[in-house]
Amino acid sequence: MTSFLATGPSLGGSRVGAWLAGLSLRSRILLISAEVVVMLALWQLVVGVFRWINPVFVPAPLSIFSGLGDILSSGAVAANAPASLQAWVVGFGLALVIAIPLGLLLGVSLPVDRIVGPIAWAIYATPSVAYQPLAKAWFGFGIGPVVFLVLVSAVFPIMFNLAAGIRTTNTSIISAAKVYGASKFRLYPAIYLPSTVPFLFAGLRQGVVLATIGMMVAELSGAAVGMGALIIRSTNTYQVGQAFAAIMLVVIFTISMVQVTTLVERWVAPWTRGAGK
Amino acid sequence: MTTETAQRRASTAPLISARGVTVKFDVARTGKQMIALSNIDLDVMEGECVTVLGPSGCGKTTFMNVVAGLVKPTSGSVFIDGDEVSGPGPDRAVVFQDYALLPWRTVFDNVRFGLEMQKKLSDGDWRDRVQNAIDMVGLSGFESSYPRELSGGMQQRVGLARAFVAEPRILLMDEPLGAVDALTREVMRDEIGKLIAQTGKTVLFITHSIEEAILLGDRIVVFKSKPGEIKEIITTGIEGMGSERNAQNDERFHELREHLWSVLANEAAAASK
Ligand SMILES: Nc1ncnc2c1ncn2[C@@H]1O[C@H](COP(=O)(O)OP(=O)(O)O)[C@@H](O)[C@H]1O
Ligand SMILES: [Mg+2]
């Protein structure tokens, strides 16, 4: 079927691909773990043992792990993570509240797309770093600028994906709906909305990643608390292991949120699950 | 069935009547108009199955869309039972070449779509009707599958069930087997023939397969392109809607096939100039 739901190139093409695609969940976890262990071992050798790279720039894995132990036990994570989490959640929540209705409107209405679209793209195309000084001027030094940067970073990918989903709704599905009696009004809940769901979730995944980037940009430029502040402080005191450990926590958080988004998608939109077995 | 049809044909006015249907599309690239259909006149009697045959791009889908009420003709009209078509209606159902199923709905929920939109879910027996339609097209057991879990042939069976359950007077089929693999195609062609015969629906069946056109049609309308016009209308006169195997010995079948081949070959040659 030539629908928008068609999956991309399958992994099962080559022999290695077929082997990878056929792995059970347990084997896949084992494989990824093995990969990580090998990578860490090489890294430890290169930096920790042979010292080919100065550990002040890139710390060895073991010093990152001890750094992780330090920031966990010293209470640095407990002191900084909640502020970041709060800003992230509030900013992302606001992004959802703004992006979903605007995205729908943008997708549905050509005039809105023509008027609001260019402005929105212009803001989206501006690197979020550029808003940082403004955000500080507008929102002071607390959580405000961080929330703002999370919001600005996440809102557009969600909005534009949603709008694109509506505009690319399969035309023969629309014809079918009309043939079987859908009024123009019923087309929205019955056809446009469900067919845009996979696009919405693609946008959400991008939004999650960009939200974290926005958060880091705001926190790295002089926030008093937050994971970004912790990273800056650790680096300034040459505790690069701790800085990398803090970065690692942020990455783990972001990947987890992407996974949560995918889980929600599977629950909300079970029809997208698995390639056409 | 054919004699019955013939009697009905003699006694009633046409169920579908196209008069001077012309469709022009604006071509954005050149700023000109292209004539997709020019002055089509066609009558289809109740209970008749008319197949429409023609090279690709000759306006078959456009014609069907006009009858379905999805495309408004630039001039001319289509009448259903004497009433001018102004949009889609419950008297017509369409089977689409690309199935046009809703990917987020299971087989069962796809089939019930028409009843839902026409607010017929308050009818006490709607579940039975949906189930019957699913059984009729041979999809029992797949009620809770999603379209992407089904083969092309099976997806089109869902499309057929969705059309039949709406209980239209007219079935419009736009190359329903065009995207189905060759073997399934023959099997389903015969099944569709039987379903049409059983239900006695009035059918407009678009195809580019000569065999399908002959075996399913009471009459064959041959389209030509540039502009889309009716080249000729042939009454098949083959008894019943049998399978090709039965018809293979039929002299008339061979005669028609040879004739249509030469007509289409000329058309294709003309179109590619
Ligand atoms: N919505 C449209 N806008 C512009 N041109 C169209 C449109 N629909 C069909 N056409 C053109 O009209 C001609 C007939 O198309 P179609 O009815 O789909 O042919 P067929 O179904 O016989 O292959 C083609 O040249 C096609 O490009
Ligand atoms: Mg066509």
Calculate the alpha carbon distances from A17 to A13, A23, A274 in Å: 6, 10, 16
Q: What is the pLDDT of residue B266?
A: 82
Give the span between the Cα atoms of A181 and B250, in whole angstroms. Answer: 42
The residue count of chain A comes to 277
How many CB atoms are closer than 10 A to CB B221?
A: 23
pLDDT of B94 strictly over 50:
yes
Cα B155 to chain centroid, rounded: 16
Global model pTM greater than 0.95: no
Out of B25, B38, B231, give the residue to mutate to test ligand 1, the one with the largest number of ligand atoms within 8 Å of its CB.
Answer: B25
Q: What is the pLDDT of residue A18?
A: 78
Instruction: Collect the ranges in chain A with pLDDT lower than 50.
Output: 1-7, 275-277
Contacts of A147 (CB under 8 A, 6+ apart): A87, A90, A91, A94, A139
Q: What is the pLDDT of residue A4?
A: 38
For chain B, what is the mean pLDDT? Answer: 87
Q: Which residue of A has its CA nearest to B70?
A: A175
Instruction: Tell me the ipTM for this assembly.
Output: 0.89
CA R_g for chain B? 19
Helices and strands (H and E) in chain A: how many = 12, 0
List the structure tokens of B174: 């736009």
CATH number of A65-268: 1.10.3720.10
Cα A100 to chain centroid, rounded: 17
Domain ranges of chain A: 2-53, 65-268
- As a whole number of Å, the end-to-end CA separation of chain B is 42
pLDDT of B3 strictly over 60:
no
Q: What is the pLDDT of residue A238?
A: 87
Q: Give helix B126-136 / helix B152-165 axis angle, nearest 10°.
A: 140
For residue B42, list its beta bridge partners.
B18
Give the span between the Cα atoms of A268 and B213, in whole angstroms. Answer: 44
How many CB atoms are closer than 10 A to CB A185?
A: 8
Summarize pLDDT for B171-225 with one digit per residue, the tens. 999 999 988 888 899 889 989 998 998 888 999 999 989 999 998 999 999 998 8
Q: What is the pLDDT of residue B6?
A: 52
Could you tell me how many CB contacts below 8 A there are between chain A and chain B? Answer: 80
Task: Name the residue among B166, B146, B163 with its Cα closest to residue B155.
Answer: B146
Interchain proximity B70–A2, CB inside 8 Å: no
pLDDT of B5 strictly over 80:
no
Show which residues on chain A lie within 8 Å of chain B, measured between beta carbons: 1-3, 5, 170, 172-173, 175-183, 186, 190-191, 194-195, 197, 269-271, 276-277
The residue type found at B159 is G
Give the span between the Cα atoms of B191 and B208, in whole angstroms. Answer: 18
